[in-house]
């Protein structure tokens, strides 16, 4: 049987790639240190497969057809299409894991979840900046779960918790001895293209961190459901962390680092969950 061996979270601000070479050295060092620690823990858990939970930043989906959740079930995925990613992550393809992707899809359908599916998804900076900065090996198979974090209406926090549990069920019921890690990307607070753009809501971020540390799902869901409409739109990406949280069993996480990052316009959060 497969097993969950690690669950992590990291930011994915595109400015990390856009400005990496011109960012103030001290800030680049802080980001490097945090990403490196996530990467170190990810390598330490010796995963065979990485499930990455992230949004689609308008490269696969448009308002013609915008799924709440989409699972990548292909043996390969497209690399990031954004021009600013080419310098740092010049990959046209990423390895997938069709067998586990399909198992996850079937597990979802068997439990009355109806995600969209993709045989070849373009994986934008939301997936690939954490892969780049944490140093994930190119050969690591990726199963992407795309959550709609960008266009209202979005999946409820309750549903994201349920998705996390379903993901764990799929891992636990997979017939091969795979070591699976989960990475939720994005957050914490940020505001993009809104009148509050540039706002980093540190109160939200610290409250968020307390709830993830506490772990309890009802309180976490109540807090986020109430707080998300009052902070910047980028914070909706916390859904990706919520999926990772529930997959890990909602037993609390260890904050690796948090700092407001006006250089990248986000509240920069990095964490790993207790999975054992």
Partner 1 sequence: MTDYWLSKLFYDLHNDETLAAEYRADMTAVLARYEIKPEIRTALLADDVATLAPLVNAYLLRFYFQVRRMPQHEFIAKLNALGDKNKTVSAPMSTTHG
- Contact call for residue 29 and partner 1 (CB under 8 A): no
Q: For partner 1, which is the closer residue by CB, 195 or 276?
A: 195
**Secondary structure (3-state) at 163:** helix
Task: State the maximum Cα–Cα separation within the chain, in Å, rounded to a whole number.
Answer: 50
Non-local CB neighbours of 83 within 8 Å, separated by 6+ positions: none
Site string for partner 1, 41-80 (x = CB under 8 A): ----------------xxx--xx-----------------
- Contact call for residue 192 and partner 1 (CB under 8 A): yes
CB of 36 to partner 1, least distance (A): 22
User: Which is the catalytic residue, given 57, 103, 125, 211?
Assistant: 125
**Secondary structure (3-state) at 65:** strand
State yes or no: is 119 an active-site residue: no
Report how far residue 82's alpha carbon sits from residue 84's, in angstroms, rounded to the nearest whole number.
Answer: 5
- Contact call for residue 153 and partner 1 (CB under 8 A): no
The CA–CA distances, whole Å, from 6 to 50, 61, 131, 186, 275 equal 9, 29, 15, 18, 6
3-state per-residue secondary structure call for 243-257 = HHHHHCCCCCEEEEE
Site string for partner 1, 95-114 (x = CB under 8 A): --------------------
Q: For partner 1, which is the closer residue by CB, 2 or 129?
A: 129
CB atoms within 10 A of CB 145: 26
- Contact call for residue 87 and partner 1 (CB under 8 A): no
**Catalytic residue ranges:** 125, 190
Binding site for partner 1 (CB under 8 A): 15, 18-19, 22, 57-59, 62-63, 81, 83, 150-151, 192-201, 233, 260, 262-265
């Amino acid at each position: 049987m497969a097993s969950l061996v690690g669950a992590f979270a990291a930011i994915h601000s595109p400015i990390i790639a856009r400005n990496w070479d011109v960012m103030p050295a001290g800030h680049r060092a802080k980001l490097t240190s945090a990403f490196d620690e996530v990467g170190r823990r990810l390598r330490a858990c010796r995963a065979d497969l990485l499930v990455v939970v992230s949004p689609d930043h308008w490269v696969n989906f448009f308002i013609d057809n915008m799924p709440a959740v989409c699972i990548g079930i292909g043996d390969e995925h497209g690399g990031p299409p954004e021009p600013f990613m080419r310098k740092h992550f010049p990959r046209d393809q990423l390895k997938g894991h069709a067998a586990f992707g399909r198992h996850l899809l079937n597990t979802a359908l068997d439990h009355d979840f109806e995600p969209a599916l993709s045989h070849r998804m373009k994986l934008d900076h939301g997936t690939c900046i954490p892969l780049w900065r944490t140093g994930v090996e190119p050969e690591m198979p990726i199963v992407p779960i795309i959550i709609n974090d960008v266009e209202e209406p979005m999946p409820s926090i309750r549903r994201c918790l349920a998705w996390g549990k379903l993901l764990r069920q799929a891992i636990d019921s997979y017939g091969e001895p795979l070591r699976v890690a989960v990475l939720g990307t994005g957050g914490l607070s940020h505001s993009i293209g809104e009148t509050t753009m540039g706002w980093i809501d540190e109160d939200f971020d610290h409250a968020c961190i307390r709830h993830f540390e506490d772990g309890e799902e009802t309180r976490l869901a109540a807090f986020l459901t109430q707080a998300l409409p009052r902070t910047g739109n980028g914070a909706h990406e916390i859904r990706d962390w919520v999926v990772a949280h529930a997959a890990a069993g909602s037993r609390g996480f260890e904050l690796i680092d948090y700092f407001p990052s006006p250089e990248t316009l986000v509240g920069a959060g990095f964490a790993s969950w207790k999975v054992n």
